[in-house]
Amino acid sequence: MPSVLITGCDAGIGREFAKQYLEAGWEVLATYRSLDNVITDSKKVQNFKLDVTVASDFSDLKQKLGDKPIDLLLSNAGIGLDVAKLGALDFDYVKQMYDVNTVGPLRLVDTFADNVAASDMRRIATITSRMGSINLNLSGGHYGYRASKAGLNAMMRSLAIDLFDRGITVVSIHPGWVDTAGGGAGNAAVPVAESVASMRALISKRGNHETGQLFAYDGMPLPW
């Protein structure tokens, strides 16, 4: 039975990933910012506390999991929605976006790379955004969010290079404008179940020769 560790299962995309992998028969290690939000309708899921901005949460989870192989390490937790304009920017929130969207995923991989390397599938996937693409930025704004996702994309590219010799495939995925509280919330083009199903298929089909690439959820390569 393959295993997946998912961050940000409190709601939205992360929770849908957990549900779909459970339905597919995977062993799901679901992590939450708050354990008030745990999935309770399945006995197959293992629920853990992990706030990606808290270093001790990572060390605590590593201690609980030990050397357990993790086939897929799925970095999903993220925040955004910085719509403030120049002259009215919330710089504390900009820093928080970096902490969650950029530093958190790096700490996740740093903590569990050995577990991934010990597995059969050896996959790392991160949920990013096309708003982190410099080439695709034609509308400006969203300074903190764009920068935090661009930084995430750069880090995942480096991780793909550094982990290649260990047989680990790294992929970064834009989930589309998804119908979640952090996305379109009722007006989005892509239902969350459809986005997650497409991303799961994309992750499963990627070979090591494609490591370090950036894709949209439907498999379309995206420019940096």
Q: Of residues 187 and 107, which shows the higher confidence score? A: 107
pLDDT at 28 over 80: yes
Q: Give the chain's domains with CATH numbers.
A: 3-216 (3.40.50.720)
User: In this structure, are strands 169-174 and 123-127 parallel, antiparallel, or unpaired?
Assistant: parallel
Catalytic residue among 19, 21, 32, 145: 145
Quote the pLDDT of residue 186: 52
Alpha helices for 66-191 (secondary structure H): 91-98, 104-117, 143-163
Q: Of residues 221 and 183, which shows the higher confidence score? A: 221
pLDDT at 183 over 90: no
Q: pLDDT digit string (tens) for 164-177?
A: 999 999 999 999 98
User: In this structure, are strands 3-6 and 123-127 parallel, antiparallel, or unpaired?
Assistant: unpaired
* 200 vs 219: CA distance, rounded Å: 11
pTM for the structure as a whole: 0.94
Catalytic residue among 19, 32, 149, 217: 149
Calculate what percentage of the chain has a pLDDT beyond 90: 82
| 44 is an active site residue | no
Q: Of residues 190 and 73, which shows the higher confidence score? A: 73
| 149 is an active site residue | yes
